[in-house]
A and B are shown apart, each in its own frame.
Chain A
Amino acid sequence: MISDKFLYTLFLADNALILGHRNSEWTGHGPNLEQDIAISNIALDLVGQARNLYQYAAEQYNNYRDELSGLITSPAFNQVQGPIDEDDLAYLRDVNEFRNNLLVEQPNGDWAKTILRQFLFSCYQQLLYERMKQSADLQLAAIAEKSLKEVLYHVRWSGEWVIRLGDGTEESKRRMQEAIASLWKFTGELFIAASFEKALASAPTAPAASTGAPGSPMETSLAGLVPAPESLKETWLEKVAGTFRLATLDMPANSWMQQGGKDCIHTEHLGFLLAEMQYLQRAYPGSEW
């Protein structure tokens, strides 16, 4: 379905944007200059990924407007004349139209929480992109491949910090353990397929050169375009458990997992984030910036 791929592209873009935005809140306030630069750099990578993905989503929307226009109902978005662009998707959708995971919208908290959020997400993103780069959808594959270099660095950087803080001082360990307690419940939904993921993932991904070329998605069978999220879970858990072991941190016992992000049911935090992020575009509609 055209609409599944559109929603999936938005979901990927929203994850990148919201986490990038959160990280950018650190810019100017990091624990030292080097780490201020590092976290800003990750913010920049993620905003860059978001732009590529939103541009692709906008292209899909403009090509298949009839099929897709019902999916976004926010009044501000629907006032856009002519073709939409990346900014319309980022700035004019309402909070109940964002599909990012709950994990990435959680407030920064202290450095431990920020680091852990990055690590949990980047490990997931790495596994996802490693599979997605073989997708029959060549644009998604290209974006995944391009982003992977960055993501590998994010995994390494944040993983090293998890170890350093877990095995640093008593205080840093306590803070890491608290971060785990507050974020773990948001990791479950990463591996539970939303309806659009189910539809796209329901056949094994087969690299195919000719199908799914940009501009011809109608002729392509979309099944198997993206990895099934369940299939990433085990490797993710191993990676996280391995790092926690090195960090002398306890793995949380299986606990209740909060879901909703991919279906647009968010925590309270996202609304505030968007209110701040979107206000200029909303207050001065139809302006060039």
Chain B
Amino acid sequence: MNTESVAVTPEEHFQDKVNREVKIEPRDWMPEKYRQTLIRQISQHAHSEIVGMLPEGNWITRAPSLRRKATLIAKVQDEAGHGLYLYSAAETLGISRAEMIDQLHSGKAKYSSIFNYPTLNWADIGAIGWLVDGAAIMNQVPLCRTSYGPYARAMVRICKEESFHQRQGFEILLTLSKGTEAQRRMCQDAINRWWWPSIMMFGPSDDASPHTAQSMKWKIKRISNDELRQKFVDVIAEQVKILGMTLPDEALAWNEARGHYDFGTINWEEFWNVISGNGPCNRERIAARIAAHEEGAWVREAASAFAEKQRQRSGGKDEKAVA
């Protein structure tokens, strides 16, 4: 293509690619705000995966059967893997993992607020899989087509595993729902506590969402918060019937005219409070991340000191440490 004869700005050229669904790659020119938006979004997503390991990790040592224990370890380990892919995707935009982790620890970077809620009974592990991984999938499937190549490719891998997590979560609840009276109570209790936070995961309403319009134009975001939320409510309102449980919303009702479920008003005051640090577990979550990082410092130092010694011993030729 001869671009010299056509007077296009880099910005126009970029937008043209986006419009034609050509993926933007790390070496391509991109608007600085596009880069910043992506760094913010991808790192926030990576942090969510990592912080999300904590509420579920809580139950690994208490999982009620060996099979559940194994699948829960595998699930939490998957989330660590998601964090890795996403940190790598963000690194292609010119930020290091260490910087991103510092931003998480300092509170500068956010993570999904859902993980500031506590896991109080075993059914919470099922509810998280079904509702939280479920909401994440709803959010993330459109991201498999997001305009930035490395992010889109990371999301394809992640979405496959997330849908597996969701099925496992639902299966935990299904087992409880067919169990004893005490187990059914656990199940309903977990749904009651996780329902509202999970529909908050789609973020503020479109009219209160500052970044939506620009992100849609750049095709970072492809479907609006409210549309995704509605889709999620419609799916879950049906699935909860299979469990013989209810969602804690009296306003929930099928609306024939709209072809969707109506649902009650979200408590946005709670949403903004949890985001800004006042959730039940914000402090514990960050404290746990910082503790792991700080207690790991001597290990990371030892590993690099050893790698350096190896390099010197081999006269700098063999870069490969025993990693």
Contact = CB atoms under 8 A, between A and B. Distances in A.
Answer yes or no: are A and B bound together in one complex: yes
Interface of B: 50, 53-54, 57, 60-70, 73-74, 76-77, 80-81, 83-84, 87, 122, 175-176, 178-180, 182-183, 288, 291-292, 295-303, 305-306, 309, 321-323
Given A91-B65, A289-B175, 20 more contacts: A17-B66, A24-B60, A24-B73, A25-B60, A28-B76, A30-B296, A31-B292, A31-B297, A36-B80, A40-B73, A40-B76, A40-B77, A48-B70, A110-B295, A163-B306, A165-B302, A167-B306, A284-B183, A287-B183, A289-B64
A163 B292 CA distance: 22
B296 A27 contact: no
A175 interface: yes
A27 B73 contact: yes
Contact of B300 (A17, A32, A160, A163): A32
Interface of A: 17, 21, 24-25, 27-37, 40-41, 43-44, 47-48, 50-51, 54, 86-87, 90-91, 110-111, 160, 163-165, 167-169, 171-172, 175, 276-277, 279-281, 284, 286-289
Given A33-B83, A41-B77, A167 B309 contact: yes
20 contacts: A28-B80, A29-B291, A31-B292, A31-B296, A31-B299, A33-B83, A37-B80, A37-B84, A47-B69, A110-B295, A165-B306, A168-B301, A172-B301, A277-B62, A280-B62, A280-B122, A287-B180, A288-B178, A289-B175, A289-B179
B302 A28 contact: no
A79 to B, nearest CB: 15
B114 to A, nearest CB: 16
A30 B300 CA distance: 11
A47 B66 contact: yes
Contacts of A50: 66
B180 A168 contact: no
A154 B74 CA distance: 17
A277 B64 CA distance: 8
A44 B70 contact: yes
Contacts of A175: 298
Contacts of A51: 66-67, 70
Q: Label chain B's interface by main secondary structure.
A: helix
Contacts of A168: 301-303, 305-306
B298 A169 contact: yes
A63 to B, nearest CB: 21
A27 B53 contact: yes
B298 A54 contact: no
A134 to B, nearest CB: 27
A273 B63 CA distance: 13
Contact of B74 (A44, A87, A165): A44
Contacts of B176: 289
B77 A32 contact: no
A289 B70 contact: no
Contacts of A54: 66
Given A31-B292, A287-B183, A24 B69 contact: yes
Which 10 residue pairs of A and B lie closest in terms of their CB atoms, listed nearest first? A31-B296, A168-B302, A172-B302, A28-B57, A28-B53, A280-B64, A31-B299, A289-B64, A40-B77, A160-B322
B299 A37 contact: no
Contacts of B288: 28-29
A289 B68 CA distance: 8
B57 A27 contact: yes
B180 A87 contact: no
Given A30-B296, A48-B70, A171 B302 contact: yes
A287 B64 CA distance: 10
Contact of A164 (B53, B80, B87, B306): B306
B105 to A, nearest CB: 14
Contacts of A41: 77
A86 B298 contact: no
A277 B197 CA distance: 29
A276 B69 CA distance: 13
Contacts of A288: 175, 178-179
B77 A44 contact: yes
Contacts of B297: 31
B64 A33 contact: no
Contacts of B122: 280, 289
B296 A32 contact: yes
Given A48-B70, A280-B62, A284-B180, A27 B322 contact: no
Contacts of B80: 28, 33, 36-37, 40
Given A36-B80, A44-B73, A27 B300 contact: no
